[in-house]
Amino acid sequence: MARLDGKVALITGAARGIGEAHARAFTAEGAKVVIGDVLDDRGTALAAELGATFVHMDVTDASGWAAAVARTVELHGKLNVLVNNAGILRFRRIETMTEDELRRVLDVNLVGPWLGMKAVIEPMKAAGGGSIVNTSSIEGYAAAAGLSAYAASKFGVRGITKAAAQELGASGIRVNSLHPGGVATELALDPANSEATGIDGDAFFKALPLGRWGLPQDVAGAAVYLASDESAYCTGTEILVDGGLLSGPGY
């Protein structure tokens, strides 16, 4: 028996990167997967490959959330798992960042997951409970120069995760957060981001305890655990997937 047999999962930002890895891993473990993203071509192609369903959704839009959740329940009769994975990254120092840029990062990375949690409460109650997996970051523990907006959003995700765990536990809904760091995605490997930080990524990650970049599937394994019944007594908790980056001094 696969670890997610019988479960229905909505995964946001799932057309590429870590979200795509989640979609692949969940499908392989027996879940019925609905892929939510603004990248229509890539999302549609991935859904066709996996036998999943694609829905266009902007996580900052409450009506989009309502439509995606309704579509999921219409197709599969229930919703057991939400993975709030969609997010954006902007390297800007405070003195050069605009208010619009700040608000955009907060809207996608923090307001989006909050809207998602709100949208799935009733369907999960109807299903007898569920699991919400919110994607934070190592930047939800320790901030870096140029990432004030991103860090604020990811620290915020830790907070709303714990508050929701307190509120929803009695309904059988578990809420936990994932904290990736140093994962080789298109976003992280974008040369513009390396130039913005001044960090030699390869040299930096070779110095980690595990000595390599993380892979999207490294994070997906943790998400499968949190979505599965194996984590039935876990709520309000945090899982770091960072190759040991935060385990010692120097970050």
Catalytic residue numbers read: 150
Intra-chain end-to-end CA distance of the chain, in Å = 41
Which letter does DSSP use for residue 214 in this model? B
Letter for the amino acid at 57? M
Burial class (CB in 10 A: 0-12, 13-18, 19+), 136: buried
The answer to whether the CB of 43 falls within 8 A of the CB of 15 is yes
For tokens 């892979």, what's the residue?
A: 215
The answer to whether the CB of 115 falls within 8 A of the CB of 62 is yes
CA dist list (Å): 169 to 13, 38, 131, 143, 235: 26, 31, 10, 30, 8
Q: Of 142, 136, 147, whose CA–CA distance to 246 is shortest?
A: 142
